[in-house]
Chains A and B, each alone.
Chain A
Amino acid sequence: MKHDRARLVANPALCDGHGICVLRAPDLLTLDAWGFVGVETAEALSGRDLRRAASAVAACPERALSLVQVHVAAGNGVGLGGNSSTWTPPRRARGRRRASADSER
């Protein structure tokens, strides 16, 4: 799914501190002292920021990150209104993930 403008949101209850997301989007995400993620901006992202955010979302093995689509017509594009929709990537099969991780090594 492709968005023009979207907000990056984290579900801290799902975060397990893998930390891959921060490598993908270092300007948008930070880790706390124990390696758990926090989103630095609540603003709607577009362009390069949005591409990086999407990459971070796709990288999370716990699906703790998601993009919330923002409709520009809905106002200034901030907040979870009735016309937002969330998207998280489908969970990849464990086996496939391991295989691809092996092939990268």
Chain B
Amino acid sequence: MTAPTLAPLAAPGRSPRADIGVLGAGGTRLLAGPSGRETLADHCERLGVLSLPYTDSARESVMHSVAASGLVGRGGGEFPLVDKLRAALRASGAPVMVVNGSESEPASGKDALLLRCRPHLVLDGASLAAATIGAQQIVVYLHEDTGATYSSVMEAVRERNQLPGVPGIVVTTCASGFVAGESSAIVSALSGGAAVPRRRSLPAATSGIHGRPTVVSNVETLAHLGLIGRFGADWFTSAGSLGTPGSTLLTLAGDVISPGLVVEVSAPISIGTVLVEHGGLVRSPQAVLVGGYGGRWISGDSAWNAPVDRAVLRRAGVNLGCGLIAPLPADTCGLEVTVRLLDYLAAQSAGQCGSCVFGLPRLAVDLRAIVEGRATRRDVRRSHELAHSIARRGACAHPDGAVALLESALEVFSVDLRRHLRGLPCNRGVAGWFPLPDASRIGESR
């Protein structure tokens, strides 16, 4: 596999940041406003009450705005929102709108931040989507161990009872777990089954919960929709690039001054600029993990100039995913970190597909042998073959994420790999503050 090349995108022919007065400085949109939780009264005073479409022509105009905005799923799937809405409109049955707040990436914090600080912006987006597809019910789906997020959403639902004509909002929680937030797992859980991914012949938007059209959408996507419904598609696309219109939330982790910090940026800002401005870095790190635990390692130098643009990154084989940007500290061994992440991903398998159940632990064991100097070049080749045979064999993309993580690690940390194969120490440890999942919790959530 060739190394991903990341050419910075040429500056677009329009102003990257054109803000409406009510929004914050520095191009922030979702995170504009007060620093803490915004109550319904403050929210309505700052942004006005969002008017919902009740006539066919009003619905048509919302669909038109969503299509023109180019808004895609910000949970990592990057599926165009308008396609989901269209499919739900075409399908028969009473539609359901699901707010996916089950941010399963352990190091990501953007969805939790929105639900804690801007719950009404998210619920505005959900109400707008629900009204557009004619859904009478909104379900907010959260992991069970998210106390502050849960209370913020519950409080928001209570506050919204005073708004006229709001669809019913139900808040439900499910067992935590990496794959429980996948949209087919959510549909399965809300249909009364287990929260595990299912292979479906029809998309959820056509036939989801009990066969009803079900639009499952990420929290950030809906927050953007809440603003698009107010200010329109032209305003939305006035920030960002053609590949990633609008602003984007990123979670910084790893070798940054405040891990867990959520920042709002607009393409074509580069990952390097984000890390300098918000992460306190002065030069490029040895590598950056992009997109989440099932994301990819990119060498520090190519990440430095890479734009935060989903289209450009995708062309280089990188998925921005949930927006995790985690630079690896210089004194940390990327291969060792990868072993631990693979252990975590293996433990988070839903246990359904053979390739995932047997394959992921094996990938982790093989890489551990490499790191501990018990492997040869041939073993590395076998590891590659094994990874290749697992890819795209699951009912969901969980094993594919682990394969991408491993393949990118073997490529980016090739110098360390050679040292490990010769049994030499790479003189790097594992710094405790890299966002490794808590080992004691691995596996218990299944």
Contact = CB atoms under 8 A, between A and B. Distances in A.
Contact of B354 (A36, A84, A86): A36
B393 A34 contact: no
A68 interface: yes
Contact of A33 (B197, B198, B389, B392): B389
A38 B393 contact: yes
24 contacts: A12-B199, A12-B353, A12-B354, A12-B393, A13-B352, A13-B395, A15-B353, A15-B354, A17-B354, A32-B355, A32-B359, A32-B393, A33-B362, A33-B389, A34-B354, A34-B355, A34-B358, A34-B359, A35-B354, A36-B353, A36-B393, A80-B201, A80-B202, A82-B206
Interface in B324-369: 352-356, 358-359, 362
B77 interface: no
A12 B353 CA distance: 5
Contacts of A38: 355, 389, 392-393
Interface in A43-89: 66, 68, 80, 82, 84, 86
B198 A13 contact: yes
Interface in B193-208: 197-199, 201-202, 206
Interface string A1-21: 000000000011101110000
A12 B359 contact: no
B259 interface: no
A11 B199 CA distance: 6
Contacts of A66: 201
A86 B200 CA distance: 11
Nearest to A64: B199
Contacts of B362: 33
Contacts of A86: 201
B386 interface: yes
Q: Closest 6 CB pairs between A and B?
A: A36-B354, A13-B352, A12-B353, A13-B395, A34-B358, A11-B199
A14 to B, nearest CB: 8
